[in-house]
Structure 1
Amino acid sequence: MDDLVTERLILCPLDPALARRITANAPQAGDRWEAGYPSGADVAGARRFLEVCGQDGGTGPFGAYEIRRRCDGHAIGGAGFHGPADPQGGVSVGYGLVPAARGHGYASEALRALLSLARELGATRVRGDTDLANTASRHVMAACGMRPAGQDERLAYYETVWDHGTTTP
């Protein structure tokens, strides 16, 4: 997998070595980690990545990424897919940033890059969810064109569906 480059970010694909450093919270020389990185969610995402790699030797095109700022190379969070596409072409996505990086539009920028990649790779649906109380994340998904797809007592669900080149709710 290649880096995903946006105006202000580089989404660097995880590889097993980087994922192990994240799970151990053990940066190596050259790693530039913003204060608070990796978070618990980043560690969980890196563990999930390693589990998927262990099951079939890789994650395929729908992998996990470390979010880095282009201006200084600092890792400020993680984003990516929670596994390969299902038989209908659906994938799920997640993202998170260290507290100091929130409120600058980075989450929306990273999510837009992932949505674009999913579409290019032939995904038919991208799903995401967030805690009901996490209004910032709900705004991010809505701003990126994801539509509300329900909720339960804990989570709000969002999705984007592509059908013959159009986006539908």
Structure 2
Amino acid sequence: MGGDQLDEAVAYAAKVLRTAVELDWSVKAGGLDWSCLQTAEHVAGCIVAYAGQLTGRATDTWVPFEIAFDEGSGPDDAVSVIESTGGLLSAVVRTTPPGVRAYHPYPHGSADATGFAAMGVAELLLHTYDIAQALGVDAEPPAALCEATLAWLFPQVLPARRPADQWATLLWATGRRALPGRPKRERWRWHNALEIPAGRIVLREVSPAAAADLAAGGTGGLTWIEGGPFDGTRTAAEMITKAYASGVHRPEWGMFALVRVEDQVTVGGMGFHGPPDEEGVAEVGYDLAVGARGRGYASEALGSLSEWALARPEASSLLAIIEPENTASQAVVSRAGYVRISDRENLHAYARRATA
């Protein structure tokens, strides 16, 4: 998800909307309180705001500006503004350095360039549909764009099994229609990847889209230390990919990339085998590059990840299962506040519990 996908979404939106520039854009867009022209202005406003957030490096609020169409602007003008603002966001996404995040209110208060790209694509696809629906124009974007948007912004949603159904699933995920066996959603919200600071390391949530790339032998969009990604990371990515395809993946309770703050190089992976069970227990695991071991990275990251998890109401304790001969890993969990408990099938078990 990036500049290429934004360019494709802009081109699609412009093509659809230009077929309707001779129609009456003063009517309300489908399902919205705005007119079609106001909806187009909203799209352009969102897109340029996303670009402004990234270039301004906003940390705790929106950059205080907005755009408005000139008085007397019509539908053809609106399409031109969407193309112009879309080009701005595409350029900003392409040139934003790795690791830069900017304010967005949900769910964690920030997003990276990939997240803003995905949100821009979503704005373009969905509001083009709203306008087209009101004007009686056909609008169905490329299935690959819909699939990518779902995988980046709606990781908790069961994806469509057929490419032809991706668009319908995205419309359902955003409360625009019902699907067989899935009633129309009255409330919805997309998900931007979580990032947890851990001193010299930052834990960056791996989305189902990035996990699929890792499982297929790619990099997941990350810059890896020599020799990476590693077997444990790719295995974890396969687990996330399967969980997502089955509709049981839960954002934030999957895998995180361990990224070195100083150079944005990924040195390993860490995360959970799934969300907490009915007793509030979640199992942790991690995989660190040989060249990055012995520097305290894993203990710092595990400590921060554990603090984040145990502050969540659904988690009461975390569990680490380690082979008896793996003394280095045992030292990592001990430094991160875990204590030895009863063995699990000849494997050493360590736990860290939430404090009252």
Please, what TM-score do these two structures have when normalized by structure 2? 0.44
Q: Is 1:62–2:253 an aligned residue pair?
A: yes
Q: Is 1:33–2:224 an aligned residue pair?
A: yes
Q: Is 1:118–2:332 an aligned residue pair?
A: no
Selected match of 1:101 from 283, 288, 292: 292
For residues 6 and 141 of structure 1, the distance between their equivalents in structure 2, rounded to whole angstroms, comes to 15
Q: Is 1:159–2:356 an aligned residue pair?
A: no
1:95-128 Cα shifts (integer Å, max 9, x gaps): 1101000000011011011111111112101000
Selected match of 1:132 from 324, 337, 342: 324
- After alignment, is 80-89 or 144-153 more displaced? 144-153
- Tell me: CA distance 1:57–1:87, structure 2 relative to 1, closer, same or farther (3 Å): closer
- Tell me: CA distance 1:155–1:120, structure 2 relative to 1, closer, same or farther (3 Å): same
* Partner in structure 2 of residue 52 of structure 1: 243
State the AA in 1 paired with 2:258: I
Please give the secondary structure, in 1, of the residue aligned with 2:239.
helix
- After alignment, is 151-160 or 58-67 more displaced? 151-160
State the AA in 2 paired with 1:160: R
Preserved CA contact (<8 Å) 1:52 1:83: no
**Aligned-pair identity (%):** 30
Q: Note the C-alpha offset of 1:154.
A: 4.6
For residues 194 and 254 of structure 2, the distance between their equivalents in structure 1, rounded to whole angstroms, comes to 10
* Partner in structure 1 of residue 207 of structure 2: 15
State the AA in 2 paired with 1:21: D
Structure 2 gaps of 5+ residues are 1-192
- Tell me: CA distance 1:153–1:61, structure 2 relative to 1, closer, same or farther (3 Å): closer
For residues 266 and 346 of structure 2, the distance between their equivalents in structure 1, rounded to whole angstroms, comes to 29
Structure 1 gaps of 5+ residues are none
Q: Note the C-alpha offset of 1:162.
A: 2.5
Preserved CA contact (<8 Å) 1:12 1:67: yes
Higher RCO (CA-CA < 8 Å; seq separation 6+): 1
Q: Structure 1 segments of 4 or more deviating over 4 A?
A: none
Please, what TM-score do these two structures have when normalized by structure 1? 0.89
Preserved CA contact (<8 Å) 1:49 1:59: no
For residues 292 and 196 of structure 2, the distance between their equivalents in structure 1, rounded to whole angstroms, comes to 18
State the AA in 2 paired with 1:94: G
User: Which structure is higher in helix share?
Assistant: 2
Q: Note the C-alpha offset of 1:50.
A: 1.2
Aligned residues: 163
Preserved CA contact (<8 Å) 1:59 1:84: yes
Preserved CA contact (<8 Å) 2:270 2:286: yes
For residues 219 and 309 of structure 2, the distance between their equivalents in structure 1, rounded to whole angstroms, comes to 29
Q: Note the C-alpha offset of 1:55.
A: 2.1
- Tell me: CA distance 1:105–1:57, structure 2 relative to 1, closer, same or farther (3 Å): same
Higher-Rg member (1/2) = 2
Selected match of 1:4 from 184, 196, 215: 196
Q: Is 1:82–2:273 an aligned residue pair?
A: yes
